Structure 1
Amino acid sequence: MSFDLGLDGKRALVTGGTKGTGAAVVQALADAGARVAATARTVPENGTGKIHYIAADLLTAQGCANVAKEVVHAFGGIDILVNVLGGSSAPAGGFAALTDEEWQKEIDHNLMPAVRLDRALLPSMIAQNSGVIIHVTSIQHELPLPESTTAYAAAKAALSTYSKSLSKEVTPKGVRVVRVSPGWIETDAAVALAERLAREAGTDYEGGKRIIMNSLGGIPLGRPAKPAEIADLITFLASPRAGAITGTEYVIDGGTVPTA
């Protein structure tokens, strides 16, 4: 039986699409035949013919508006929107270290880009009675680390709740909304963190990885997920093969979250 995902010619926008998981999603969608636009603050000077890069700061309302305008101009519309952009710059130190400014940064980074791009691009999806929106959340909204991820986890929880509400509103209008909730992903940034922790602890890279896994309460699978594994899940969910899937959240964390 053929397992063609049916993505040939589909028009996709991926945020945070030049590094880590975002770059893996861009590549997976392109490999499946989609026309892909990828956005980030800085983009490759020599992009490939298969990928349309858009440089923009999505932490601002104007940056989101510019991206929405550019992708519609380039593709004539949009079929798939994958909001991968996210992250945290909050300091360690628990609740007391989180000023109003730090809280606002986490919200601006992890919630508002998705809200603004959805608001800009959803009308065209509704008009064509088809589309898929995928929001990348995090297991941190279920398993926050008080020392360092409280604000990030809260912003991702807001994204998850917003996504569920949005799905109830727009699914009857032909647009599916799905969440993907990763655990620890072995991106370049994660490798650098594990290497730093390893040096500080006088161990090797595998020891550094164990330090991180232990901080999460353990990963039964014994390793973090690869960016390509997250991308494969997202690509399937974006495809017509997943046409009956909407309003739900898919956890991909190697068993980290200890409940169903």
Structure 2
Amino acid sequence: MTNPPQAPSEAHVLLVEDDEVIRNTVRMVLERYGFTVSTAGDGLTGLELFRETNPDLLLLDVMLPDLDGIGLCRRIRELSLAPILMMSARGDTLDVVSGLEAGADDYVVKPCESAILVARIRSLLRRASFAPAATAGSRAANEEDSTATFGDLTIDTRGMEVSRAGRTLALTPTELRMLLEFAASPGVVLERRTLLSRVWDHAWHGDTRVVDLHVQRLRAKIGADRIETVRGFGYKLRR
């Protein structure tokens, strides 16, 4: 049997899962794929480990003792923009929406195939290290100009910074990647499944809640009127 492809630079994953069997199984799977894994069985221990280890990515179960996954996600978002992947045993709308609103980047429903889980983790890690090769936006005129401006919103694609009215915005890697997709084609409608493919590396399976919730979060940071909803189609960045 051939060995699975290794994780980039032995990325460190913090896994917080209260079920010992699931926790150990997922840990062994991730370690087999080359990840370094720290584990915790409850939310408070997970928060303490996060502060101690500064992981590259967090994998959080929704149902946790002491501090549930939603609360843990919110606490971590106050401290860090590290990618967060939520795990839900049911995939209920409330679980999914609550996790994404708390700041998670993506979610998977348990039980999840190992290959799918690893693919989602790698997608988030790629997003966190993403650096565009070309300038995005309507005013990035040439290769030497890496700044795109849309009203009071300024995007520096080389410095990977976004500011609004001169104030630097704290965007998660997913939010930044989404904004760059919009800025690359201002005024052009991007369908939800297109955003899923480009930002999340997902094949479209009919569930676009992750897109809608991230648009909502992005609007809260860059201005509610900056991204326009085109009903029945998707979203576009106002010129």
Could you say whether these structures have the same fold, taking a TM-score greater than 0.5 normalized by the shorter chain as the test? no
Q: TM-score, normalised by structure 1?
A: 0.40
> Which structure is higher in strand share?
2
Q: TM-score, normalised by structure 2?
A: 0.43
